[in-house]
């Protein structure tokens, strides 16, 4: 089921000044892949608030992320997020963190490999400044260390 993000955000924050949507004018232009996806190492990341085993819960204004081994199972994962109803994600994490589907794509040769670990953070709560200045640079460093050619970002 599709989520109507703008009405949902207005509902969640109706007691506050209306949200000013971010317009990013500093992002570089789209960069095409240099090789076929079947030869690319792809990293998975989600803003769905997925946790691995005993990782600490995310909190409001949280600009941290968690690393999740690519062999994690449904039983290893839980979800903690303020910004959406998490029942579906709790019963099947693949709806916001498609780790099992990505492993299938790797096994079928659709992607060259799945980077280990995958990454999860809690999007939609903190400021765009925190995302730009704190979270994004750390994630970029992680992707470089993982030698990822591309990443698949699943917004929650």
pLDDT in tens, 29-43: 778 899 999 999 999
Which residue, 101, 109, 115, is CA-closest to 149? 115
Q: What is the Cα–Cα distance from 115 to 133, expressed in whole angstroms?
A: 24
Q: Are strands 113-114 and 50-52 parallel, antiparallel or unpaired?
A: unpaired
Kindly tell me if the per-residue pLDDT of 23 is higher than 90: no
**How confident is the prediction for the chain on average, in pLDDT?**
88
Res 153 pLDDT > 80 = yes
Backbone φ, ψ for residue 65 (5° rounding): -140, 160
End-to-end CA distance of the chain: 12
DSSP state of 147: T
pTM of the model: 0.81
Domain locations in the chain?
35-154
Span of 6-10, 65-69, 71-75, 124-128 with lowest mean pLDDT: 124-128
* Local confidence band at 132 (pLDDT 50, 70, 90 cut-offs): confident
Per-residue pLDDT at 24 exceeds 80: no
User: 58-86: b or e for each residue (b if 16 or more CB lie within 10 Å)?
Assistant: beeebbebbebebebeeeebbbbbebbeb
- What's the CA gap between 57 and 80, in Å, rounded? 6
Q: What is the pLDDT of residue 125?
A: 58
Tens digits of residue pLDDT in 46-99: 999 999 999 999 887 788 899 999 999 999 999 998 888 889 989 999 999 999
Q: What confidence score (pLDDT) does residue 69 get? A: 97
Give the torsion sign (CA, 110, 123, 149, 73). Answer: negative
Q: What is the reported pLDDT for 3? A: 66
For residues 76 and 118, is the Cβ–Cβ distance under 8 A?
no
């Amino acid at each position: 089921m599709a989520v109507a993000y703008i009405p949902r955000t207005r509902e969640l924050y109706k007691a506050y000044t209306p949200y000013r949507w971010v317009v990013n004018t500093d992002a570089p232009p789209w960069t095409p892949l240099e090789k076929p996806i079947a030869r690319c190492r792809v990293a998975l990341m989600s803003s769905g608030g997925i946790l691995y085993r005993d990782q600490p819960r995310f909190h409001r204004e949280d600009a941290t992320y968690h690393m999740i081994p690519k062999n994690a199972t449904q039983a290893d994962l839980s979800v903690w997020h303020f910004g959406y109803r998490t029942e579906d994600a709790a019963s099947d994490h693949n709806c916001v963190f498609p780790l099992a589907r990505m492993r299938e794509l790797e096994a079928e040769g659709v992607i060259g490999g799945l980077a280990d670990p995958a990454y999860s953070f809690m999007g939609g709560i903190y400021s765009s400044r925190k995302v730009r200045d704190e979270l994004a640079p750390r994630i970029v460093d992680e992707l470089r260390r993982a030698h990822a050619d591309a990443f698949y970002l699943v917004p929650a």
